[in-house]
């Protein structure tokens, strides 16, 4: 009887330890994002920003986690210096400090939209890492966390991105778009220097020649004859979706665009 009691006590203690060891994000990601606060980012086209995804593994091997993003926050040094600081970050160190099953470094990035309005979450609390101030801007889901943390985010695959914001593109700007085999249009709102440091906003006019598209996919560039917006809501149903190209350029579903010119 005493042996059975000892087993129960030990099992209860183990369960308590597991509960205590769980990261807060696991519980929070089962509900909607909380404590919204408005943000407004203007005249940011071509400017640097950085993003870290603190991910947690789901039972089926997929991953879900928070976007911590620096958009709109002033950087204390030139882009090349800040890019180097971001690239020097260590995933294992951040996992131990903040708790998660995996860390995804999304960037260095440059905004392709001219600006945005929307919501940050968690009361706009900042997490300062390598002198970069990050705020929670949404939740990201990936079908295979192991592949994602190994550095391979799925390209030309529709992914869920839960956030509330409106990207703004000005009249006269050139926008870059992917068109799925089903005819859905995705418009680029940010580019990445992670894979190709020369993939700058100045080099976007040659992007179509540098991409290797799967069968049925198309790429196009078009000049806007009026202002354009891309709007998403964190609680939309169906959820907001994005597509990454092979250089991790980020494209959001554009319900107002036609696959036809």
The predicted-structure confidence for 205-252, as pLDDT tens digits, reads as follows 999 999 999 999 999 999 999 999 999 999 899 999 999 999 999 999
Average pLDDT over residues 166-174: 98
Q: Is the pLDDT of residue 255 over 80?
A: yes
Q: Are 183 and 170 in contact (CB under 8 A)?
A: no
> Tokens 């319900």 label which residue?
255
Contacts with 10 (C-beta within 8 Å, 6 or more apart), sequence order? none
Q: Is the pLDDT of residue 8 over 50?
A: no
**Could you tell me the pTM of the whole model?**
0.84
Q: Which H or E run contains 232?
A: strand 228-232
Average pLDDT over residues 13-37: 49
* Kind of pairing between the strands at 132-142 and 228-232: unpaired
Q: What is the mean pLDDT of the chain?
A: 87
Tell me if residue 96 falls in helix, strand or coil: helix
pLDDT in tens, 32-90: 489 999 999 999 999 999 999 998 888 898 888 898 999 999 999 999 999 999 999 99
Percent of the chain surpassing pLDDT 90: 73
Instruction: Give the pLDDT of residue 148.
Output: 83
* Kind of pairing between the strands at 174-179 and 127-129: unpaired
Q: Are 113 and 173 in contact (CB under 8 A)?
A: no
Rounded Cα distance between 68 and 49, Å, is: 11
Instruction: Give the pLDDT of residue 11.
Output: 38
> Tokens 């592949």 label which residue?
147
Backbone phi and psi for residue 121, each to the nearest 5 degrees, phi listed first: -125, 180
Q: Are 254 and 177 in contact (CB under 8 A)?
A: yes
Q: Is the pLDDT of residue 5 over 60?
A: no
Two structure tokens written together for 261: 């010119």
pLDDT in tens, 77-118: 999 999 999 999 999 999 999 988 999 999 999 999 999 999
Q: Is the pLDDT of residue 10 over 70?
A: no
Q: Is the pLDDT of residue 15 over 50?
A: no
């Amino acid at each position: 009887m005493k042996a059975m009691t000892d087993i129960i006590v030990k099992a209860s203690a183990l369960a308590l330890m597991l509960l205590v060891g769980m990261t807060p994000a696991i519980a929070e990601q089962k509900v909607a994002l909380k404590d919204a606060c408005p943000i407004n980012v203007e005249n940011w086209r071509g400017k640097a920003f950085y993003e870290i995804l603190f991910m947690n593994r789901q039972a089926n091997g997929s991953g879900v986690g928070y976007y911590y993003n620096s958009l709109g926050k002033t950087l204390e040094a030139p882009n090349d210096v800040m890019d180097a600081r971001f690239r020097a970050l260590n995933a294992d160190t951040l996992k131990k400090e903040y708790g998660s099953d995996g860390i995804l470094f999304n960037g260095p990035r440059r905004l392709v939209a001219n600006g945005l309005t929307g919501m940050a979450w968690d009361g706009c609390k900042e997490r300062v890492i390598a002198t970069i101030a990050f705020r929670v801007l949404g939740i990201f889901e990936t079908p295979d966390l192991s592949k994602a943390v190994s550095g391979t985010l799925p390209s030309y695959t529709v992914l869920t991105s839960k956030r509330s914001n409106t990207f703004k593109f000005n009249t006269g700007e050139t926008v870059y778009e992917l068109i799925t085999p089903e005819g859905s249009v995705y418009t680029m709102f940010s580019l990445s220097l992670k894979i190709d440091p020369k993939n700058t906003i100045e080099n976007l006019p040659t992007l179509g020649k540098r991409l290797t598209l799967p069968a049925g996919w198309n790429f196009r560039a078009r000049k806007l004859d009026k202002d354009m917006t891309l709007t998403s809501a964190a609680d939309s149903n169906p959820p907001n979706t994005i597509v990454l190209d092979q250089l991790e350029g980020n494209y959001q579903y554009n319900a107002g665009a036609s696959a036809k010119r």
